């Protein structure tokens, strides 16, 4: 993937982080199978494994953008809890992406991923000032790509 963290235009709320200000450190995506998810998110999408810590039957398994380990981590969380399964299934069935990843060139990324066998539910589509596409991550989720 060519980019994960594209700077957004300044807003009235944008200000540099200093001291003890809060920032996003971790976000979760529920997955059916952590090993399969790790393979897809690294080998296909191009993320880099950050943490892989045994936790009983599962792992604390995170990936990050290849641009740096200091960014937001994506936790590949097993969806064993009934509430997680219901949530994941409902969003998928309604066609709602659970995460959004930014890319510099959505057409090139779409073509690259299609060649790797990724199934898109929405090809690149203009939506105002952005272009969007949506694909199946093979782990129970729809993921949105966005080009600003």
pTM: 0.85
Q: What DSSP string runs through 104-134?
A: S-HHHHHHHHHHTTPPEEEEEEEETTEEEEE
Q: Which domain holds residue 49?
A: 26-147
Residue 55 falls inside a structural domain: yes
Q: Are strands 26-31 and 48-55 parallel, antiparallel or unpaired?
A: unpaired
pLDDT for the residue 15: 60
Q: Does position 38 have pLDDT exceeding 50, yes or no?
A: yes
Mean pLDDT on 61-80: 92
pLDDT for the residue 16: 64
Number of domains in the chain: 1
Residue 2 falls inside a structural domain: no
Q: For residues 125 and 130, give the distance between their C-alpha atoms in angstroms, rounded to a whole number.
A: 8
Model confidence over 105-133: pLDDT tens digits?
999 999 999 999 999 999 999 999 999 99
Of the two residues 4 and 147, the one the predictor is more confident about is: 147
């Amino acid at each position: 993937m060519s980019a994960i963290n594209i700077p957004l235009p300044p807003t009235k709320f944008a200000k540099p982080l200093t001291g003890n200000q809060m920032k996003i450190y971790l976000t979760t995506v529920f997955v059916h199978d952590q090993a399969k998810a790790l393979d897809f998110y690294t080998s296909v999408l191009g993320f880099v494994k950050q943490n892989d810590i045994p936790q009983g039957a599962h792992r604390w398994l995170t990936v990050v953008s290849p641009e740096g380990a200091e960014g937001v981590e994506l936790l590949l969380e097993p969806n064993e809890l009934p509430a997680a399964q219901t949530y994941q299934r409902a969003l998928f069935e309604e066609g709602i992406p659970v995460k959004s990843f930014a890319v510099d060139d959505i057409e090139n990324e779409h073509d690259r991923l299609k060649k790797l066998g990724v199934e898109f539910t929405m090809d690149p589509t203009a939506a105002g000032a952005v272009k969007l596409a949506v694909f199946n991550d093979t782990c129970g989720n729809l993921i949105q790509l966005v080009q600003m």
